[in-house]
Structure 1
Amino acid sequence: MIVKTKKFALDKKHYIKKAFVSQLKKVKIWFLIPAAVAVLGLVLNFTGVYKNWWILITAIIGALLFAGFWYLQFYAATQLEQNKQMFDKFAYEVDSSKIMVKLNAKEGGIIKWDMISSAEKDETGFYLHMGRGQFLHFRNDVFNSEHDFKLFESILRRKNLL
């Protein structure tokens, strides 16, 4: 059985938010370094060993710059000409062997299931992750019927992605 969706596009603001949060979850270990430096600065300051707030301020600025770097990466991806296609409107046909991406009735492409590394479901719909900052977002309102929605979810479960 094939799940056909309505034609829809990925929203740029939603892309930035989701890609940024997803990346921060992956690299959260790197936030331990500024946190440890901040705690060290506080301990040294309050014990009187080294009374200086620069350690704490540097740790906070470092963490903010790190997060800002990733935010700017995903923001810039929405502005680049070569990524313009990510935000065009497509219709999708999903079955157990492939995902057909259709620009119109005659033009399109194929995404094989082995390109999808993981999937997740939240209140807005389904996310199919392909790589860093690359995902497909199937909102709940793009499915033609409740049956298509449930069939899409069952395909994801059979592929062990959900």
Structure 2
Amino acid sequence: MQQPNNMRGRQVAQQPSPLAIRTKKHQLEKDTFTRMALTMVWKRDWWQALIPLVVLLLPALFVFSWWWVAAAVLVTVLYVLLRSAQVTGVTQMEQSKALFERVHYEMDQRQLLLRLNQEQGMRLTWDMIESVRRDKEAYVLFLKQPDLAGQVAGWRALLAKVMYVPVFLHLPTRIFNSPNDLRLFESILRRKGLLPAEAGAPETGGKAA
């Protein structure tokens, strides 16, 4: 399974930028991440579960046997369980630990910081973000898939790409301190090409998690 190695080695110890947008503290629960990631994976890769089902049912078209049917169903269920376990495993990896800490976020034109305290945190530059999805009550920032060039090749590289699990940050709008901070954040995302230029800022409300 590919690991979010673009999160590795990003511990920071720097003073907050006076120009940075600073959010309230927020913690992405592992159950929430798992639920969202499973939905994304199976919405994208549902066809993969059909491969063992179709392959093992083919012999039954020529010589029907309930054994072929049972084997097809069993292998398909096992594949679904293993693929789902792969997604769940992301929450247990040391490299992704920072995703599930209670942190506040700091954003400016250079970077996005996940700050645990004044001395510890995780630094992400904007070129590490692949895309952004804006939902009604949150922003979902997808990290780029790790570049495995030179590490694996051939069918292993293809398999790693096909089996990739999305790694993302989930920023609810309620953690922003003001509507102006939301507008500034969206302005940064537009300038980085992560949101359409015409995107408007959603309203904020509620209390921080």
TM-score by length of 1: 0.78
Provide structure 2 residue ranges, at least 5 long, that are not aligned to the other structure.
Answer: 1-18, 146-164, 196-209
Which AA in structure 2 matches 1:22?
M
Check if 1:141 corresponds to 2:159.
Answer: no
Check if 1:30 corresponds to 2:48.
Answer: yes
Which residue matches 1:99? 112
The CA distance in 1 between the partners of 2:181 and 2:88, in whole Å, is 33
SS at match of 1:117: strand
Check if 1:86 corresponds to 2:99.
Answer: yes
Structure 1 or 2: more helix by fraction: 1
Tell me by how many angstroms 1:79 deviates.
3.9
Which residue matches 2:189? 156
Tell me by how many angstroms 1:137 deviates.
0.7
Which residue matches 2:29? 11
Which AA in structure 2 matches 1:139?
P
The 8 Å contact of residues 57 and 72 in structure 2, kept in 1 or not, is answered as: no
Tell me by how many angstroms 1:119 deviates.
1.6
The CA distance in 1 between the partners of 2:142 and 2:73, in whole Å, is 31
Number of residues of Structure 1 aligned to a counterpart in Structure 2: 157
The 8 Å contact of residues 141 and 169 in structure 2, kept in 1 or not, is answered as: yes
Q: How does 1:110-121 map to 2 (within 5 A)?
A: 110-121=123-134
Provide structure 1 residue ranges, at least 5 long, that are not aligned to the other structure.
Answer: none
Tell me by how many angstroms 1:156 deviates.
1.7
Which AA in structure 2 matches 1:134?
V
The 8 Å contact of residues 99 and 169 in structure 2, kept in 1 or not, is answered as: no
CA deviations on 1:15-38 (whole Å, 9 max, x unpaired) are 111222333345444234135347
Check if 1:66 corresponds to 2:79.
Answer: yes
Pick which of 110-119 and 152-161 moved more. 152-161
The 8 Å contact of residues 49 and 80 in structure 2, kept in 1 or not, is answered as: no
Tell me by how many angstroms 1:118 deviates.
1.6
The 8 Å contact of residues 28 and 170 in structure 2, kept in 1 or not, is answered as: yes
The CA distance in 2 between the partners of 1:60 and 1:8, in whole Å, is 42
Structure 1 residues 87 and 38, CA gap change in structure 2 (3 angstroms): same
CA deviations on 1:62-96 (whole Å, 9 max, x unpaired) are 22222211221233333456644331111111122
The 8 Å contact of residues 41 and 53 in structure 1, kept in 2 or not, is answered as: no
Structure 1 residues 61 and 146, CA gap change in structure 2 (3 angstroms): farther
Structure 1 or 2: more strand by fraction: 1
